[in-house]
Structure 1
Amino acid sequence: MTEKTTSRAGRNLPAAIGVGGALGIMLILVLVFVPMVWFAVVSIALAIASWEVGKRLRERDFGVALIPILVGGQAMIWSSWPWGIEGAFVAFAATVLVIMVWKLFAQGLENAPEHYVRDVSLSILVLAWLPMLATFATDMVTHEDGKFRVLTMIIVVVCSDIGGYAAGVLFGKHPMAPAISPKKSWEGFAGSVLVGTVGAIACSLWLLDAQWWVGVALGPLMVIVATTGDLVESQFKRDLGIKDMGTLLPGHGGIMDRLDSLLPSAFVSWAVLTLLL
């Protein structure tokens, strides 16, 4: 049974498809009918993902400032509603200061903190990697055509995943980064670029009411950052000696294992669409 249901990527393929499809339908319904609920969706997802990453790091004796990350992450996301990216950056800066003080007195007033530089640096990395990048996704939805911008981001990333998986399974022979992610191939990356660009062009024409070349500019760039985001998390997990960040989503792992491509893509899609639209 395992051989029939487990993909070359080492996942339970039917479960992964079912969970991915259900999440996709939920996101589409939210964005089409109640787009501002997107803030709540991102807020919940980032809280869980931050907890997953913080828990995994603490299991390896890294003393990340988990409570400031969780609270500050929420402040960053919700600050982007009334004040946009500027509000999110102010909340980010305030959270960095809190983290520095939090870890300074983590061992009490009478004891010097251990691994202060390492733990503060790692805490700020998590804060920038997760909630800071996510605020670009929440800021997008506040634009007049915001729900279509967010849908475009999601569709292009999904197209990239589908194209990469199909091309990798059918034609993959040349490893892309074997030391980081042995199953990724250059053929799979080419499939991601092709299908992701087609998806971006379709979204530009039919969702964003923009010129086709907007999709040509957006698609390959998003595929590159989505693939890089996946590789970054793969190396992160490899350093920690784990396969997945969590177990919440059958066939996928944790919430963070679904956000690794979307988080950097959120910034790139925000930047490109803000510039070109």
Structure 2
Amino acid sequence: MAGLLPRGVSPRDRLVRCPLPAPRRGLEDHHRVLRRRFGTAAVLAPIVVGAIVLGGPYVVALVLLVTARASYELARALTLPYPAAFGAGALPVLLAVPFGTTGILAGVMLGLPWALFWLAGYPEARTLRAMLALMLMATWVGAPLAHVYLIGDQTNDLDGVYLVLIAVAGPWVSDSGAYFAGLLFGRHPLFPSLSPKKTIEGAIGGIVLTTAVVAPLANLLLDLPLWTSALAGVVISIVSQAGDLFESILKRLLGLKDLGRALPGHGGILDRIDSLLFTAPAVYYLYTLFLT
């Protein structure tokens, strides 16, 4: 019997000295992450939903607060003066209020000269990374977030509220479906060079759950045909996952794990809204171009 034990381990002390299996530690890590995520969501969800229901200036204020924090994270990551980053991101949002989609384009065009004006006073910030940050703030953050306001403003009151809620909640549903499907069934990497933990099974799970949630809601609340509502769910999940992968590419290029630590369990604000930055424009144009 003793010959079957590892060298140096006697029958008497085998229960003490043999290591315990590791899977339980992995489960505990997952549980800890989930607790943090749900805790953060419990705090933020009432604020976000309240602003969406109240609409108008409350949505603008919420979007500008998100833009301000995103500007801080990107300015810190890419060594850029904060006012330059915030201006490049905020102008598309502010000009979208009176001028709609034309204002978004104008804000992107005007945000870059504004940012360059600030860079003139910071010679050490005149780098390729700084220029990349300015372009990202205008086109990746400011312009997409402006569509969150437009979704509610360009439609009737109730439809606008429902659409914004779908645009904001859709990425969370997709992320949850992908997370649990990947945890339970994940075997085949999706893009291992970009995000090693993402799997094909997880991506499919995200699409399935998003479609299962969005299709009946859009059919019931927006009176859309069921097949159209299901298609919207598929599109929302696909662009949501594309937004997540885009940020993964950016963080890999910068050598960063997260762009911030503002939200426990999620990382920074950009780590939380990366999918929304792709989903909001998709929902807006899907509705205005094809569903009205």
TM-score (norm 2): 0.83
Once the two structures are overlaid, the 10-residue window that deviates more, 166-175 or 12-21, is: 12-21
Q: AA paired with 1:86? A: T
Corresponding residue to 1:6 among 11, 29, 44: 29
Give the distance between the partners of 2:126 and 2:78, measured in 1 at CA: 16
Indicate the RMSD between aligned Cα atoms, in angstroms: 2.2
Q: AA paired with 2:30? A: S
- The CA deviation string for residues 146-167 of structure 1, in whole angstroms up to 9 with x for no partner, is 1111011123222211211111
Distance 1:98 1:71, change over 3 A: closer
1:51 aligned residue: 72
Once the two structures are overlaid, the 10-residue window that deviates more, 95-104 or 85-94, is: 95-104
Matches within 5 A, 1:127-206: 127-142=138-153, 143-144=155-156, 145-206=159-220
1:35 aligned residue: 55
2:281 aligned residue: 267
Q: Does the 8 Å contact 1:99/1:120 carry over to 2?
A: no
Q: Does the 8 Å contact 1:51/1:66 carry over to 2?
A: yes
Q: Does the 8 Å contact 1:155/1:199 carry over to 2?
A: no
Q: How many residues align?
A: 264
How far residue 105 of structure 1 moved from its aligned partner, in angstroms, is: 6.1
How far residue 53 of structure 1 moved from its aligned partner, in angstroms, is: 1.3
2:21 aligned residue: none
- The CA deviation string for residues 71-123 of structure 1, in whole angstroms up to 9 with x for no partner, is 23222212212221211221211112233454456439xxxx954x5532442
Q: AA paired with 2:106? A: V
1:97 aligned residue: 113
Give the distance between the partners of 1:249 and 1:77, measured in 2 at CA: 23
Give the distance between the partners of 1:105 and 1:29, measured in 2 at CA: 40
2:15 aligned residue: none
2:87 aligned residue: 71
How far residue 2 of structure 1 moved from its aligned partner, in angstroms, is: 7.0
1:20 aligned residue: 41
**Where does structure 1 lack aligned partners over 5 or more consecutive residues?**
59-63
**Where does structure 2 lack aligned partners over 5 or more consecutive residues?**
1-23
Distance 1:159 1:103, change over 3 A: same
Q: Does the 8 Å contact 1:159/1:196 carry over to 2?
A: yes
Q: Does the 8 Å contact 1:5/1:13 carry over to 2?
A: no
Give the distance between the partners of 2:232 and 2:82, measured in 1 at CA: 34
SS in structure 2 at match of 1:198: helix
How far residue 241 of structure 1 moved from its aligned partner, in angstroms, is: 1.8
- Is the counterpart of residue 81 in structure 1 residue 97 in structure 2? yes
Give the distance between the partners of 1:80 and 1:68, measured in 2 at CA: 19
SS in structure 2 at match of 1:249: coil
TM-score (norm 1): 0.87
SS in structure 2 at match of 1:250: coil
Q: Does the 8 Å contact 1:164/1:192 carry over to 2?
A: yes
Whose relative contact order is higher, 1 or 2, with alpha carbons under 8 Å and at least 6 apart?
1
- Is the counterpart of residue 125 in structure 1 residue 136 in structure 2? yes
- The CA deviation string for residues 223-260 of structure 1, in whole angstroms up to 9 with x for no partner, is 11111111111121122222111111111111111011
SS in structure 1 at match of 2:123: coil
How far residue 205 of structure 1 moved from its aligned partner, in angstroms, is: 1.4
Q: Does the 8 Å contact 2:173/2:210 carry over to 1?
A: yes
Q: Does the 8 Å contact 1:156/1:197 carry over to 2?
A: no
The sequence identity of aligned pairs, in percent, is 30
SS in structure 2 at match of 1:243: coil
Distance 1:107 1:22, change over 3 A: closer
